[in-house]
Amino acid sequence: MKKLIILSAFIVGTFSINAQTKDELQTQKAEKQAEADKFQAEADALQAQIDALPGWTKGAFGTIGGSLSQFNNWYSQGSPNNNSANLGFTVNGFANLKQEKFFWRNSANINLAWVKLDDRDDPTDSDDFREATDVFNISSLYGRNISKTFAISALGEYRTTILNNFNDPGYLDLGVGATWNPLENLFVVIHPLNYNFVFAKNDAVFESSLGAKIVADYTRQFGAISFKSNFSTFQSYKSGDLSNWTWINSFGYTLWKRIGVGFDFGLRNNKQEALNAAFAGFNNLSAADQLTTSVPTFGNVDNKLQTYWVLGLSYNL
């Protein structure tokens, strides 16, 4: 009985020591975390001061996502024996020059992805990768300051695809107007005089026109988080059918050194592209089906919202 009492006391004492040790370690961890947060806040404040100084600021971050899979005799699906894969990446880069009297901001966004589905039971099936996502956008903004937050500016922006149908269509915006800079990392471009050059083989759908260009760009890094959001719209003075807008957002969270998790998503509305796709579908119909199908026009085309997203590993350059 005496041995049992001693053993029980030893076990209770051991648990008490372990619990006390755990509490002490958690307290020490909280204290260290508070110190780390304080130093990180100071580092962010210093970085903000550095970014506000005249000179060049350069950077880039991106996302890589991919997967591989193989199925053998998986009868519950349509292709029980297949190899599949997908690979995609995005890159967001910028090079900005800031001076007392002027600024020059340059940026690029590239989003490319490939997919493959090889049905091994179908000898005619292609086992090659094919393009799935194809986004290419570069811009250059120059401004002469007239106050701390306003500048007279000129913008050049080019958008196209590079894997398939390069420059078909391609969009080149050239315009002048004003730029509002209410925050260090936020630029709002308002150019009432802008010409939207459209390059394409299908002249019956795509048309260049004069209009207004509005761009809002916000790029920021909060400690381990990188964020960029860019909204660009062209409003044609000739016809609303020639207007378009694109909104691209990129997030990166650093987990270890420069490696982390990234998420990108984009939205686009472009009636000319929707009509061009409808024409492609109409031309693929048989002659008999074309007789019973309405010819696509701006008036009857289904202009659906274009979207994409990519989730994967990120690397902050």
The partner residues of 254 in beta bridges, in order of sequence, read 260
More confident: 147 or 219: 147
Distance CA 242, CA 232 (A): 14
Residue 212 near residue 192 (C-beta atoms within 8 A): yes
Q: Does domain 54-316 have CATH number 3.30.2310?
A: no
Residue 173 near residue 195 (C-beta atoms within 8 A): yes
What pLDDT was estimated at residue 4?
54
Give the distance from CA 183 to its chain's centroid. Answer: 22
Q: What is the DSSP letter of 239?
A: -
Query: Measuring CA to CA, how many Å separate 252 from each of 60, 96, 309?
Result: 11, 20, 13
Is residue 7 over pLDDT 60?
no
Is residue 12 over pLDDT 60?
no
Distance CA 50, CA 218 (A): 18
Among 260-264, 301-305, 312-316, which is the least confidently predicted range?
312-316
Query: In the predicted model, what is the mean pLDDT of the chain?
Result: 84
Tell me the backbone φ, ψ of residue 286, rounded to 5 degrees: -70, 165
Distance CA 241, CA 234 (A): 11
Is residue 317 over pLDDT 70?
no
Q: For the segment 115-171, what is each residue's pLDDT rounded down to a tens digit?
A: 888 888 888 888 888 888 888 999 999 999 999 999 999 999 999 988 888 888 899
Neighbours of 271 (CB within 10 A): 17
Q: For the segment 172-199, what is each residue's pLDDT rounded down to a tens digit?
A: 999 999 999 998 889 999 999 999 999 9
What pLDDT was estimated at residue 170?
93
Give percent above pLDDT 70 in the chain.
88
Q: For the segment 18-69, what is each residue's pLDDT rounded down to a tens digit?
A: 556 777 777 877 777 777 767 766 666 666 666 666 788 888 878 777 778 8
Q: Closest Cα partner for 67 from 128, 120, 130, 116?
A: 116
AA identity, residue 145? N
* Cα atoms in the 13 Å half-sphere on the side-chain side of 239: 11
Tell me the pTM: 0.75
What pLDDT was estimated at residue 149?
93
Nearest-Å Rg of the Cα atoms of the chain is 28
Is residue 11 over pLDDT 70?
no
